[in-house]
Structure 1
């Protein structure tokens, strides 16, 4: 009797012949599995490459379009739109746009399109003062249009404008200061790690995230926050042609809808971006629908990373950013 078949489809033992055992061919492997894997890898690579080229083409198209309308040559009078989106941590990009449009002869007014909860205290304050300076030196109207949110540091900036527009359901206000950092002392103790600090000066290491604040350190930081708060209130009062005493009751850190903010004097008119654009053009003496100029869009995501765009640095923290443990002061609605 022949030996029973093996699970692999051939006899478990090679049949005997007068010359001994006959060698059987090795079992066939399932090559289709590797083919599927190879096809999947090729497909993923193709999708990534296609996405890179599509994003790059779109970015170049926007850049060419925006550069052509923002060059300042021909085209008649226009309103420049500067977008302020997200958390404000750097004033440089906004300031450069304001400076650029202040010098363009065909730009007769600037519209700040705001959708931001605020950000760093110093950055927000710097943009505020730059808006005031551009208004004073260029004699061009600057109007703020709040989209969904124009709170804290973003409202600080808006208050420097000639007019503030907001939708009825927009969120504005949040005049106040917040200081915060993360205390990870318990984590270090759990990991049996020790923090070693050598300093000179009683308050030099105040805010060390590895330990609790002392009463003196808490009072020290509260004094800094109080001083920044007073600056915030005073600057909003100047921008809104009001007084510190009138702004103070509204500086509780809370927000209001555009509908609530109008009678409080925090905004000048209800309306969306289009209404604000028409009003800005009218302030500049432009009749009808004004021409709009913008700066090129920033590159984000994979294309920005591959092209060395500076914004990509915010996506991947550098060692210096990881080591930065200083407490932060913010005009931020949270």
Structure 2
């Protein structure tokens, strides 16, 4: 047998130093994450001491719930140093009820807190995202932004033939003729189709009504535009779907001027959530370890204000 390799004392010193260094980095990351949660600060915040600021809330990706955006609206609505709020939108829409809830929260903050709220559409502000934007004082969009898609969609995948192929049977016990309506293991009956169409039509009417109210126009003006199609920002302006063609910078400077802020406005953003290694250590890494709910949207039956 070969004699055991003898390590230099400096080897063990290096191991100990490296271990301490790694532990220090982990502790620093956890402390920084905890401080952000406690203070609500963000590395992207640039609020001036004693000055007036404009809050920017990002509405990104598929809208699945209203909690996060509503909480941010309430926070900045109650902050006297925040003179206006910009919703920076880049979303194809999402859940019908979630989009509607944010819409009403925007209206509430505007009415009760007397705070100006503006929408700035980046690449996409469609369907549920446009629903939210219509509640704002003004809507800005780039020339090539995609805007509109006023409509409702409900869809799912019917895999009844696949189950027959693998010789599986769905067993459902229910009371109420329409209780299992939409079961993906069997074809829809005419009565089920009429039932779902009635729900979709009702939501469509709510969409048209709320957009018309938010845009200070009539349903007769909005309904011809509510075909589910989208327009570019350039096309949307003469249609009355937006108020001005321009990017985020234009929306920011115009809003600052409107609320009496001279020069370069200070910007404040919500604190960012815990990410990366700190999230793993704290058990808050759902988005890192599990599929995003947005990616699973096509598998979830429901009613959506969403452009695809």
Compute the TM-score of the two structures, normalised by the length of structure 2: 0.83
- Shift of the 113–291 alpha-carbon distance from structure 1 to 2, 3 Å rule, reads same
| Structure 2 match to 1:333 | 307
Count of residues in correspondence between the two structures: 283
CA distance in 1 between counterparts of 2:148 and 2:283 reads: 37
In the alignment, structure 1 residue 108 sits paired with structure 2 residue 92: no
Structure 1 stretches lacking a partner, 5+ long: 1-24, 26-45
8 Å Cα contact 2:276-2:285 kept in structure 1:
no
Larger radius of gyration: 1
| Structure 2 match to 1:215 | 190
In the alignment, structure 1 residue 79 sits paired with structure 2 residue 38: no
Report Cα offsets for 1:73-119 as digits up to 9, x if no partner. Answer: 94410000000000000100000000000111100110000000000
Q: What is the SS of the residue equivalent to 2:172?
A: coil
CA distance in 2 between counterparts of 1:61 and 1:260 reads: 46
CA distance in 2 between counterparts of 1:177 and 1:71 reads: 39
In the alignment, structure 1 residue 293 sits paired with structure 2 residue 279: no
8 Å Cα contact 2:48-2:266 kept in structure 1:
no
Q: What is the aligned-residue RMSD (CA, Å)?
A: 3.2
CA distance in 2 between counterparts of 1:247 and 1:315 reads: 40
Report Cα offsets for 1:41-74 as digits up to 9, x if no partner. Answer: xxxxx9xx89x96995897499479348869894
Structure 2 stretches lacking a partner, 5+ long: 2-18
Which of these residues, 201, 208, 218, is aligned with residue 233 of structure 1?
208
Q: What is the SS of the residue equivalent to 2:55?
A: strand
In the alignment, structure 1 residue 119 sits paired with structure 2 residue 89: no
CA distance in 1 between counterparts of 2:305 and 2:189 reads: 25
CA distance in 2 between counterparts of 1:313 and 1:116 reads: 21
Which of these residues, 66, 70, 76, is aligned with residue 91 of structure 1?
66
8 Å Cα contact 1:55-1:303 kept in structure 2:
no
In the alignment, structure 1 residue 144 sits paired with structure 2 residue 104: no
| Structure 1 match to 2:171 | 196
- 1:240-319 aligned at under 5 Å gives the runs 240-300=215-275, 303-309=278-284, 312=287, 315-316=290-291
8 Å Cα contact 1:67-1:295 kept in structure 2:
yes
8 Å Cα contact 1:168-1:270 kept in structure 2:
yes
